[in-house]
Structure formats: structure tokens, C-alpha cells
Structure 1
Amino acid sequence: MNSTPRRRTRLRPTDLLRLGMIGPRTRKMRSALSALGIALGIAAVVAVTGISNSNQQHLLERLDQLGSNLITVAPGKGSDQKPVPLPPTAEKMLAAIGPVQQVTATGATKANIYRNDLVPEQQTGSITVLAARLNLLDVLRATLTSGHWLDAASENLPITVLGDQAAQRLGVTGPGERVWLGGQWYKVAGILAPNELAPELSTSALVGRPQAVAHLGADGTAATVYLRSYSERVPQVQSVAAATANPASPNTVAVSRPSDLLAARAETENTLTGLVLALAGVALLVGGVGIANTMVVGVMERRGEIGLRRALGARGGQIAMQFLLEAVLMGFLGGMGGLLLGSLAVYGYALAQDWAAAIPLYTLVVGPAVSVVVAAIAGIYPALRAAKASPTDALRSA
């Protein structure tokens, strides 16, 4: 008697999905705990990445404010080892460089400053009188310990702002006192706080540019120019600053190297990135081990189900696919839950620290995807073990 061979049936995707839901649906508590394990792993990844990134952005902003993007252009020395003044056009030319955001300058004067008109002329206390632009404090991120800075009105009047060391040497304790400057009395408007970016200002007396030009022998040109550019463009600005300030003789222009904070900025970014990757790897490993453990236990507990399905004609590949889908579903649910938990942790921490929350976009996309991949890898061994189970042995041990 001729018998027609049976055609091997294939499960439709919807059937596979229903099979994959058998475990999570019938073992809700265990599946929930497994998903919670991967959720905590992904939440740790998102939280660590987001908090570190928020901290990093806050720190880098602080470094930028302090001066990692500040460049100083000053007179250099010529062949005779004497300082060569910057050309009158240097400040405007430097301001025209594309990546430059802010420009300010100080200018030299011919005046000296004394506590009163009875002090001998030679006892200057090594204090320099400089003509200052009104935006000097803004560009240098400088502050005052007392008093106020120059404004559009006071820059035309006999008013000065003293550096912290200059005030100490003159015996000035606060604003409102008078000093003898350039042969006349000047009122002290304020005292600067120490500034590491421009330490030369600590021993200076600053007056408005118009007042310095009119009464203190200043010629209106810049003696030192301070530039702020985009942080990532600092090397490019530095490379062209000398030729821009003095095209005829760029070798006589002294351009400061970017602040050491720029190196600290890059080092901080690399260190935090490495820390995030390391902690994320550990968190994913823990979540993957949790799912693998749960799936192995599930295979052992469901030998009767596996044996019955094999006896009814289910192939080993279909059994394997069932358990693999269960692992993937738990990984996906855990990944989405972890994404939510991690995001809440980041925003809560950032709010407590008064930072701007910054979760990298790649984390939001890659997090759930990685959880699925980790869950699939963790489920391969249990799935293969279930597929290789003998129907008779499985039914006997059920």
C-alpha cells in the first residue's frame, strides 16, 4: 500500500508568538522577576549613562566658563629681544576670525598709581595702570569682591577698579576710597576677585578706555587681546591668531596655548565615557545571567510539556524557537521597563543637583535593542537544551 509522505508543517509567526507567550503567561511571577532582572540592568545602563553624561555636560560647561576656550594674544619679542607692540588693527582683525565668539582687550598707559599725592614717584608698588574695555569681566568670567565694574558713564570719568593685590598694596579696603593716579584723584569703584585666567589683572588698576586716552597717555590700541572661541575650534584659532594680529610679522606675536583646562576637558570626557561603558557592560552581564538562569530552570520544570509536544510531532527547532522567543520577550519587556526606570532616575538626580538632564539619544535606542540581544544570547543554551530533550525521557521525568 502506497502511503504519501507527510508534509512538514511550519508554524506561522502568530503561532510562534503565541507559543512564546506560554511561559510568561503561565508563570507570571517568575517571568516578571526575570524581566525585572534585565530591567534593572538596562535601568542601570540608562541611569549611569544619563547621570554621567549630565554630570559631564555640567562639568564641561564649567570648564568652558573658566577658560578652556580662552586664548590670549600679546606682544612678543623681536630679534633684539625687545617687546614688539601689536598693530592698531590687531583687535579688529582677531575679532573677524570666524570661530571667535568674544573679544576684549586691555591697553597700556603712561600713568602710575599711588595711595596719595605724597608718595615718592619711584614707589609704584609694581602696579600697572591699564585701559580696559567694558566687556573685560564678561569675557574673562571675572568677578568683584566688592563694588561695581565700569559702565558707559564711568569709563569717561576718573574712576578705577583695582585688582585684589593692587588694592592690598595701596591699602584700599573697599570702594569709595580715593587714589592718586596720573596726577589726579581717582575714585575706586570696585575691587576684583583673583582670576587665574588673567593673573596680571591682580596687580593692575583698570580705567575706562576713553578716560585713559584723554588723560593717561594711552593711544587706544590693544596691548593684550583676549579671545573666546568655540571649544572644538580652539586649536584652529590658535594657529591663525598670530598671522591675523600681525600679518607682517607673526613671529613677534605671543599667542597663549589653550588653557590647561582644555586638556582636563578632554581627559574628563574620555574618563567618564570609559567608566560608563564599563558599568554598562557589568549591568548587562548581570541581566543576561539572570535570564539564562531563569530559562534553564524553566526548561527543567517544563520537561513534561516539552515531552508532550515532541510526542505530538513538534520538532526540536520549534521547541527551541519557543524558548528563545520567551527569552526575547522577557528581554524586550525588561528593556522597556529599564528604559523608563533609568530615565526617571536621571531626571530625578539632575533635578536634585540643579543640572540639565542629558540622556544620550543612542542610549534610548540602543538600550532596549541590547536587552533583546542579551536576552536572546542568554536564551540560546536553554533553548537548545529543550530542543535536544528526548520525548520519552522528558515524559518519564515529568
Structure 2
Amino acid sequence: MSERVIPGCRGGLITLGAADALWGGLTAGSGVPTASAAFTCSPADARAGYVLLGGCVVATVKASGGQWSVPEIEVRRAAAELNAVEMDRQDLVRIGSFRSALWQKQNEKTLLGWRQQITRELQELGGPERAAPEGGRPHHLAGIDWWPILVEQTRDRTARTWWLPRAVVRLLDAAEHTERQWLQAARTGEKSAAATEPPSRHWQAQAAVGGRETTSPESPAAPLRSYDGELQGQLYSVLSRKPGISRKVAGWTCAVCRTAPAAVLDHCHEHGYVRAPVCHSCNTQERPDHLYRNDIRVADHYTRLFDTHTADWLRHWHRCPGCRARTTLPLPHLAAWTAHIACRSLRPTHRGSRARKPCGVLRVSWTGSHNAPRSCLLTVAVDFCPSGEHRVLARVPYREAVERFGTWLAETAPAVAAAAGPDRLDGLPTRFRPVIADTSSEGLALF
């Protein structure tokens, strides 16, 4: 599409209807599906002073005649950023349904809350099979049509879960963060620290000259900063209670993917130390897929954790001083690593159309605790294997699993391994106090 101004617009401002057409045309070839009525269909609301398009905010301007318009250049900028996003439909993140009520009645200053909005709509309509649009309004959030890429999975014919591609989850998380910062700037009237004048400021000034008024905030959000270990060695139980910590976390980019805005503080549940601020997407991927408290399914996302992006995740886990000093991982992650890496050669395979494929569903469970390493035992099994419904592949003692992991770590991520070990205690607090007390007389033999 050419860069000319759409006929009928004045001073570079276009009507909402024209903006819908422009947005649809510019993003027609995008890997992320977009809605054709991103400006005029709910949940977009021009009267709020802005409209979300992906991770961007487009300011809205009200003319003297009462007609709402938007700057064409900002629509094009948002489309260009969305078109640059690459989406893998197989890399999925669970977005619902979770325990209890996920959503509450929204107040006047509504944030995107995209997880709650999707879950609420699916629950009200009875699930995706009834939610399919039949000539009705499109299912969009921040201009993204989430319906065609929503994946439903069912367990035991009763429990349903809904999933979206990770790239879309990160994009919607960025939109939610941008909206929060935008509204905060509108309330406080703080001036931006950016050196260049933002497009929205230009359109406000132009609108004022032309006798128009706008409700957009005076400045965009302050840019996110990268995380450089500012919270290293602090206990989550202490830090999470400090006032203003949520706002501080939201000012960082995710310490893992380094692209999305951080939303939560990831921490080690065994040692209690903060690792780093991460986005919802990375926090979901890092979380073990528990079937029971001591039983996890070794899902496909462990391929990313232990194969394709190993160094990044190992470095992240070893931000915990306890794991780094002991050259290990938290027990659920160590169990998953043992099943996925150390016992990979033991998993049976079956003939496929092109090559042999691993059969069944890989699962690992454990008895005991990391606090009593001599009695802790990991059991790796394959469920639903044709040659054995619950076939046990191996039983690995905890200490042996730690030794195997240490050897593999030195070969796979030498830099991470070099910073670990019992002689690397400089990152620990002066008075180290384990969060989980060791009640076993033999437990301290390992630690």
C-alpha cells in the first residue's frame, strides 16, 4: 500500500472507519491474524483517548464536529511493528482455564486484561465450539484476531484448557503493559524522558491549532530497562512484601527473552531466592507441568529449556545462589532434565511414516525430598506405551542425578558451570539461612 494520505482526511488525520480499512490492508500479510474492525469494534474505545494496536498505542483525536480520528502515521507504525513479529503456531502457552474466578468486574479505567477477557468470553459462550463467529463481531484484542489461533485441549473429556502461540502471548502482554503505562502517564502528567518528540505529541499540538481537542496523555510511557542483577541474592519472602515492588518489576524487560515487559518475580521455591523479573510467557514456560505434587509430565516445552535455549535457561536458574553453589536445579527441574536428557536413550520408539518416533507420554515422579538426598529417588516412566501401559524406564537416585547434571552442565554450558560449585559462595548472603529446614541427619552430607 502506498504512503499517500487516504482521501477525505485532513492534516494527516483519518476517520476510524478509514483507519480500520488501512489497518486491515497493511496487516493482510502478517503472520499474526488481525481484525478488520480494530478501531470501531469492542473492546476498542476511541473515547478513552487511545486505541491499542498490538504493543502500540494510537492516540485518538476528537474534532470540533464530534467525529473521532486518528493519525495515519501511527496506524502505519503499529502495522509495521506487528508485521515484523514471527509466529510459531506450534509453540503454545496456556492461557486458561485456571482455578476459581479469573476475572472480576472491570472498573471505569479498564485495562486490557486480555487473559481474563478471553476466558470470560469462552466461559459465557460455552467454549470455542459456540464462540465461533457467524457473521457477528470479530474476536479481537489490541487489533489481533485471537479466535483463528486459539487451541483447545481436553483432558479426561472434562477439563478443558485454552492455548495461544507464544509470540501472540508476548504481544498481548506488551499491549497490556503499554496501556498501563499510558494511563499512568495520563493521570500523573509526567513528562517523557525520551529525547525525541513522540508522534502523539505532534498530533495533539496540531489538533489544538485546528480547534480540535484530544484526551490523549501528554507523554508516552518511559522506556523499559534491561535487568542487570539488581535483585540478586534477595529472598522472595522479604522482597515481595516491600511496597512498590510490582511497579518496579514492571519497569524491566523480561530477563529471559529480553523483549517482553516483565510482569512477575520468578524465584526458586526450594531455596527461596529471587531469580529475576520475567514476563508471563517465560514464567509459564519455566513452570513444571505438574500432574501431582511429586509427579510431572515431561512436555514438549522442555525441548526449549534443555535443547534449543539451554544456556539462557540454565543461567536464569542459577541466578538462585543456592542452586548455583550446589551445581544443581530445583527438584522438579532436575527430575525433568533426568527424564528428558539422561534417560533419552532408554525411551522406546515405534515406526512412523518417515522415521521412528518416541512412543507414549514421558513422565517422571519422585519420592522423598532434596532435603534428604540419600533417600530421594526419581522414577522415569512412559505412559500409554503399546508395549507396556506404564513402563518404567529407570529409577535414578537423587545424588546420581545431580552428578549427571553437573557433568552435562560442564559440557553444554561451560560459562554457567564455571560460575557454579561449592567454592563459589561469594553471591550468597552473609548469613545464609535455608528457607526449607533440613530435618534429616544425613541431608547436610550433600550440601
TM-score range, shorter chain: under 0.3
Q: What is the TM-score normalised by the length of structure 2?
A: 0.20
TM-score w.r.t. the length of structure 1 is: 0.22
Is the radius of gyration larger for structure 1 or structure 2? 1
